[in-house]
Structure 1
Amino acid sequence: MVKILKRRSISSQQVYDIGVEKDHNFLLANGLVASNCFNKSHSTAYAYVTYQTAYLKANYPVEYMSALLTASSDSQEKIEKYRENCLKIGIDVKPPNINYSQKEFTPQDKDIIFGFSAVKNLGEGAIDNILEAREKAGGKFTDFADFMSKINLKTVNRRALETLIYAGAFDSIHANRRQLIEGLDLLINWAQKRLKEKETGQLNVFDLMLGNTSESSSEIKYENAPQLPKIEDFTPQEKLKSEKEHLGFYVSEHPLKPFKESAKFLNPVNLSDLSEQKSRTKICVVAMLTTIKKHIDKNNNNMAFLTLEDISGQADGVVFASNYEQVKDNLIEDTPLLIWGKADNKGDKSQIIINQINKMENIQTVYIKLSPEQAINPQIQGKLKSILQEQSGDKNEAVIPIMAIIDSLNERIFVRFGDNYWVQNADNTVESLENAGFLAYLERVKN
């Protein structure tokens, strides 16, 4: 710290900020002028830190992204953003694991293990208690009963246990999450009773029979632990939904990830890149709806304001009255959707004006098989062009892509037609193509 003892005005001069067009001076007492300038020493220091950061990201990407995720543990939005960045560079962020997770996000070969610090409802004390109990257990819990018998249930409460179960933290020692949720109260009561017996020096008769008289034994069995109900596990969709509800984001896998590769030929836009699209440009996104707010416009017609989410982030969408009736049946939350519309960028605000919404499971593609001779024949090309343009109609409504398959002796070539040749009705298009002598068929997008 530098203490200013005396100020003296030398002269009056025009002072400008770097990169600021107009004067940006601050008039102080005694005629002094101050400016928010960025001097060379600061510039040099920041440039040096930037170089170091870039070097670490380029040469130690797993360690670098682990540190970045740990530093953002209190921000769900940032964690989602950085996990998407990890996915782009080939790093898999694995769900929390009761036997391997640390407080921070931890590198493991080419993957990153989710850190306990980013799990909701899991405080500092609970994390410390779990890690301490795991160390005393020899580095691993053998099963859920082993875990319950070693932790402090006053510190790791029921809410924390539920969150860990829904997050998949126990999947490595007990894969059926529904069993753990349904049997949690029984196991908590059993663990509390076991602790009480231990504190009072009373040994359970089953422990005596099994020889489990020492907590230091490396192979303690818990045959007297209550049996979990024999029920089927949650479906994959239910698991992901529970993860989102209890953690604020998906941890094991994003519901849209299976569609990422199969929908690539549609050239969907990431929501995080929406602001980079030109306004009024026709785009599509593979996303889910997280909020749906229905509204009545000034003409007493129905419309809706939506919040969309994909793997990269969130964005706003609006369905005007002119398209509401067409899309209303597909206004469904937490369901993979293919959404067509136009980018709308005004100032700092970006949104999608939505024209069409379809469930990903219903997305179809028209395939046309052509021989190499047919593909280069001008008459065949003209005939094909005429049929597709006839089936296209309104370009805003034509959202069914056309793919050509050209089979030669040595290879099979897939050619995606430009969206000017996409069509509105898949069945009608296939029928028209078959009537004209083309071999055409429909296929749904696969997850």
Structure 2
Amino acid sequence: AQRGIHIDLAQLPFDDPATYAMLARGETVGVFQVESVGMRKALVEMKADRIEDLIALVALYRPGPMDNIPTYCRRKLGLEDPTYLHPGMEPYLRETHGIIVYQEQVMQVAQALSGYSLGEADLLRRAMGKKIKAEMDAQRDRFVKGAIENKIKKETASEIFDLLAKFADYGFNKSHAAAYAVVAFQTAYLKANYPVEFLAASMTLDMGNTDKLSEFRRDAERLGIKVERPAINQSGVEFDVADGKIFYALGAIKGVGRAAVESLVAARQVAGPFRDLADLARRIDTRLVNRRTLEALIAAGALDELEADRARAVAALDGMLALSNRTRDEAAAGQFDLLGGGVVQEAFRIPQVEPWAPAEKLKREHEAVGFFLSGHPLDDYEHVLKRLRVQRYADFSQTVRVNGTGVGKVAVSVIDKSERRTKSGSKMGIVNLSDPSGQFEAVLFSEGLMRYRDLLEPGRALVLRLSAVLDGEEVRPRIEDVEVLDDLASRQKQDLLIYLRDDKAVPSIAERIRPRGEASRSDGKVSIVMILDDGAQEVEIELPGKYPVSQQVANAVRAAPGVVSVELR
């Protein structure tokens, strides 16, 4: 609607090349009926290029018939010739390359080869589905007799009956499959031709499901679509689209409540964007927008444009709520002049507080959003992870899907851990983990749980050795070994670069780094990089001696007031 495009789903062209190209790549996150890993794999193998392929896939993708999917794909691509027990079967099975897929095909073959009426053919279908011996024997006699009258050999007729009986048990109603396939095509068409709008609408549909939101967000990134963090002056209650980007919904932030964000968006629409925290405080209704709401908005980054330091924003909450209440009281008393003067125009002082460490900032963001949106706790370890040659979980799981099993090392951040008893009475651990490619669960059993329980605490950065097997469409990872990522990183020689615009931060930096009297082999250099002339030039000054350089030291320095950025290399 924003782009002035009206789409009539009933008029979509079933020969759209972009849609079939997307399906052939298996890019079906959010596409009705064909989202599963198995469906994606089948679409890639099939190279679907017509609606009939989608109808057949819907009918075949069930226990039993799905064994015929590889044959269907080979025959469709011309790698194998279709076979028919009798030429008279070809007109009815040509569409599905000689494979009996639909109940209607069973009925059509019986009509053509054995002279069944339409009513008789339906009775045949029902008898084959029930597998009652007396009915089947009667139907076999009727089928073979009719086939012989059509000059088909008795042996061939019996063989055809057996083939029909085998597939009739699995046969799917084509009209039912077609209805599903049409909706699958319609959603695929929308994603292929309007991916930004499609993903935004899908995220709004699943606004309460953080796992799905995370999946859609990763899919958007893969497609080169930017998902902007929630922002108080840009985001709507639901997911919005502008300039080819998706703006994260305020209503998708945990703990805010729809009524609260609706009131915020309404206030913005009435009087324009919020200018600062004081302006926000004067314009909110604390009966709807309470401390919990504001804390969640801050943690999710929705107030970053009003106060970039989230720790300062949280520290300002007492002042904001007090100002908001005074504003409401004054409004109730009618104490306003034409310019809106009076008590409500006062501001408040924000207490001086230390900024949150990057890990703390991301932890709170995860709690508010349900996944890491603006970054990931492992981002700071990128250079170390390259040296350690660990995999991303998405790559590891893909290997398992191909091979059916696998072993590999994956760096993770622990989200949560629970324990339960197995049927045998022993304890097992279920650990919710995250890396930059997504979230997943892994298990470990009694011996491993006893050995690694203390390491598997929320917030810890670890390197895991995983084993996994493919169970149906699900990868089932098991934790075999656990190492602390900081311990591994400390054994790697690292240098620290600290970027400054002036020397005001130097005393704070000096408190956070300490040179060693006797250098260790894992110690590194520390350099101050001065940014001069508004970034036109940089001057690097290496500090004398060796320093214990680690991610914790880097995080501590990054939190020092006046530090522009910190880099490990």
Say yes or no: TM over 0.5: yes
User: Do the aligned residues in 2 keep the contact of 1:318 with 1:351 (CA within 8 Å)?
Assistant: no
Structure 2 residue 442 is matched with structure 1 residue 316: yes
User: Do the aligned residues in 2 keep the contact of 1:66 with 1:112 (CA within 8 Å)?
Assistant: yes
Structure 2 vs 1, CA of residues 201 and 244 (structure 1 numbering), >3 Å: closer, same or farther? same
Q: Which runs of 5 or more residues in structure 2 are unaligned?
A: 1-117, 133-168, 494-566
Partners of 2:270 and 2:249 lie apart in 1 by 20
Structure 2 vs 1, CA of residues 41 and 301 (structure 1 numbering), >3 Å: closer, same or farther? closer
Counterparts of 1:31-430 in structure 2, within 5 Å, are 39-138=173-272, 140-203=273-336, 213-215=338-340, 224-257=346-379, 263=385, 265-270=389-394, 273=398, 276=401, 278=403, 281-293=406-418, 304-310=429-435, 311-318=437-444, 321=447, 325=451, 327=452, 330-346=455-471, 350-363=475-488
Partners of 1:239 and 1:366 lie apart in 2 by 26
Partners of 1:221 and 1:61 lie apart in 2 by 49
Structure 2 vs 1, CA of residues 23 and 169 (structure 1 numbering), >3 Å: closer, same or farther? same
C-alpha distance after superposition, 1:122-142 (max 9, x if no partner): 33322221111101222x110
Which is greater in Rg? 2
Partners of 2:448 and 2:258 lie apart in 1 by 52
Give the aligned partner of residue 528 of structure 2.
none
Partners of 2:287 and 2:315 lie apart in 1 by 20
Structure 2 vs 1, CA of residues 256 and 86 (structure 1 numbering), >3 Å: closer, same or farther? farther
Structure (1 or 2) with the greater helix fraction: 2
User: Do the aligned residues in 1 keep the contact of 2:416 with 2:457 (CA within 8 Å)?
Assistant: no
Partners of 2:424 and 2:327 lie apart in 1 by 68
Structure 2 vs 1, CA of residues 320 and 284 (structure 1 numbering), >3 Å: closer, same or farther? farther
C-alpha distance after superposition, 1:333-381 (max 9, x if no partner): 22332211211345576433323323334446999xxxxxxxxxxxxxx
Structure 1 counterpart SS, 2:375: coil
C-alpha distance after superposition, 1:377-426 (max 9, x if no partner): xxxxxxxxxxxxxxxxxxxxxxxxxxxxxxxxxxxxxxxxxxxxxxxxxx
Partners of 1:262 and 1:56 lie apart in 2 by 41
Give the aligned partner of residue 401 of structure 1.
none
The AA in structure 2 aligned to 1:333 is P
How far is the alpha carbon of 1:114 from its aligned partner? 0.4
Structure 2 vs 1, CA of residues 125 and 308 (structure 1 numbering), >3 Å: closer, same or farther? closer
Measured on the aligned residues, the alpha-carbon RMSD in Å equals 4.1
The AA in structure 2 aligned to 1:56 is L
Structure 2 vs 1, CA of residues 73 and 322 (structure 1 numbering), >3 Å: closer, same or farther? closer
Partners of 1:269 and 1:181 lie apart in 2 by 34
Structure 2 vs 1, CA of residues 296 and 68 (structure 1 numbering), >3 Å: closer, same or farther? closer
How far is the alpha carbon of 1:255 from its aligned partner? 2.4
Q: Which runs of 5 or more residues in structure 1 are unaligned?
A: 1-8, 27-34, 204-211, 368-444
How far is the alpha carbon of 1:51 from its aligned partner? 3.1
Partners of 1:179 and 1:357 lie apart in 2 by 36
Structure 1 counterpart SS, 2:125: coil
Partners of 1:246 and 1:69 lie apart in 2 by 16
Aligned residues: 338
- Bigger drift between 42-51 and 115-124 goes to 42-51
How far is the alpha carbon of 1:172 from its aligned partner? 0.6
Structure 2 counterpart SS, 1:313: strand
User: Do the aligned residues in 1 keep the contact of 2:444 with 2:478 (CA within 8 Å)?
Assistant: yes
Partners of 1:57 and 1:260 lie apart in 2 by 33
User: Do the aligned residues in 1 keep the contact of 2:199 with 2:220 (CA within 8 Å)?
Assistant: yes
Give the aligned partner of residue 564 of structure 2.
none
User: Do the aligned residues in 1 keep the contact of 2:443 with 2:477 (CA within 8 Å)?
Assistant: yes
Structure 2 vs 1, CA of residues 361 and 353 (structure 1 numbering), >3 Å: closer, same or farther? same
Give the aligned partner of residue 124 of structure 2.
14
User: Do the aligned residues in 1 keep the contact of 2:326 with 2:344 (CA within 8 Å)?
Assistant: no
Partners of 2:191 and 2:264 lie apart in 1 by 31
- Bigger drift between 298-307 and 190-199 goes to 298-307
Partners of 2:469 and 2:198 lie apart in 1 by 35
Structure 2 vs 1, CA of residues 143 and 116 (structure 1 numbering), >3 Å: closer, same or farther? same
Partners of 1:276 and 1:234 lie apart in 2 by 40
Partners of 1:293 and 1:123 lie apart in 2 by 28
C-alpha distance after superposition, 1:294-319 (max 9, x if no partner): 68999999975433333423122215
The AA in structure 2 aligned to 1:314 is F
The AA in structure 2 aligned to 1:318 is L
Structure 2 counterpart SS, 1:117: helix
Give the aligned partner of residue 511 of structure 2.
none
User: Do the aligned residues in 2 keep the contact of 1:279 with 1:342 (CA within 8 Å)?
Assistant: no
C-alpha distance after superposition, 1:219-258 (max 9, x if no partner): x997622211111221221111112223433332232455
The AA in structure 1 aligned to 2:297 is L
How far is the alpha carbon of 1:143 from its aligned partner? 0.6
Partners of 1:183 and 1:119 lie apart in 2 by 20
Partners of 1:111 and 1:245 lie apart in 2 by 24
Structure 1 counterpart SS, 2:438: coil
Structure 2 vs 1, CA of residues 197 and 262 (structure 1 numbering), >3 Å: closer, same or farther? same
How far is the alpha carbon of 1:121 from its aligned partner? 2.5
Structure 2 vs 1, CA of residues 360 and 172 (structure 1 numbering), >3 Å: closer, same or farther? same
Partners of 1:72 and 1:55 lie apart in 2 by 20
User: Do the aligned residues in 2 keep the contact of 1:303 with 1:324 (CA within 8 Å)?
Assistant: no
User: Do the aligned residues in 2 keep the contact of 1:274 with 1:351 (CA within 8 Å)?
Assistant: no
Structure 1 counterpart SS, 2:129: coil
User: Do the aligned residues in 2 keep the contact of 1:97 with 1:169 (CA within 8 Å)?
Assistant: yes
Partners of 1:160 and 1:304 lie apart in 2 by 33
